[in-house]
Amino acid sequence: MILDLLFPNRCIHCNRIISPELLVCNVCFDQIHFTHYDFSGNNPVREKCKLLFPVENTYALMQFEEQGLSRKIIHELKYRSREKAGKILAEWTAERLDFRDKTPDLMVSVPLHPKKLKERGYNQLHLFTETLSILYGIPYHHELIKRNHYSKAQALKDREHRLSTANAFSLTQAVTGKHILLIDDVFTTGNTVSSIAWEILNAGNNKISVLVMAMDL
């Protein structure tokens, strides 16, 4: 296409021209620090979650590093209108994540407040979740959880506000007897995931597992 010739897709790290369906070139891809966590075993995400709520299994695709390529990838997805990056991240996840006999019943992603959704134009987790749903054959529910309060970008919050997540989320309908995979982009303090997890756990006989794009160590 003419637009592809005039504005070719470029690697977000080195600026080399690459295929339209890629985020990074092959050389830069090797610089991404994938975690290779075992979904059913112990890993840093699970250890942190266990301090906050009862958790079944956990997985993080990448290590989140301030000066690393994973940060650039997440930034492109969230703030530079690269919604399609979610599909690529999901494909990378499916190549590495094996649920084995621990396959969840339902995928639920962290919601945006309607005002934030209107500002950004999309939820950065939706295409990621929808692609995983197709690849693994697990249904998803984007409206199960709602965010009750509008807040500024996480990166702009001070630590006190990051830790304040009381009554931040609520369920839109009853759910019980489900193993729910809760999906977020970056796991830092775990307070957002914990707040949602307790809403789901308190609603009935449910179990929670966690999947994140990146783990901030």
Report pLDDT digits (tens) over 163-179. Answer: 455 689 999 999 999 99
**The pLDDT of residue 152:** 63
* 144 lies in the same domain as 198: yes
- 95 plus 195 within the same structural domain: yes
* Same-domain pairing of 16 and 106: no
pTM confidence score: 0.91
The predicted structure's pLDDT at residue 217 = 76
State whether residue 58 is helix, strand or coil.
strand
169 and 195 part of one domain: yes
Q: Distance (Å, rounded) from C-alpha 197 to C-alpha 101?
A: 22
Residues in the chain where the model's pLDDT stays below 50: 3, 155-156, 160-163
Hey, what amino acid is at 57? N
Tell me the pairing of strands 179-187 and 106-109. parallel
* CATH (domain of 106): 3.40.50
Q: What pLDDT sits at residue 34?
A: 97
Which distant-in-sequence residues (6+ apart) come within 8 Å of 86 by Cβ? 77, 124, 125, 126, 127, 128, 129, 131
Do 161 and 208 lie in a common domain?
Answer: yes
Q: What pLDDT is stored for residue 2 in this prediction?
A: 57
Structurally, the chain folds into a number of domains equal to 2
Which neighbouring-strand residues pair with 209?
Answer: 181
Q: Give the three-class secondary structure for 113.
A: coil
Q: Are residues 92 and 14 both part of a single domain?
A: no
The residue segments making up the domain with residue 134 are 33-216
- Closest by CA to 132, choosing from 93, 96, 104, 84, is 93
Kindly provide the b/e burial profile for residues 42-63, where b requires at least 16 CB atoms within 10 angstroms of the residue's own CB: ebbbbebbeeebebbbbbbbbb
Asked if 199 and 171 touch (Cβ cutoff 8 Å), the reply is: yes
Residue 184, strand partner residues? 212
Residues paired with 179 in a beta bridge: 207
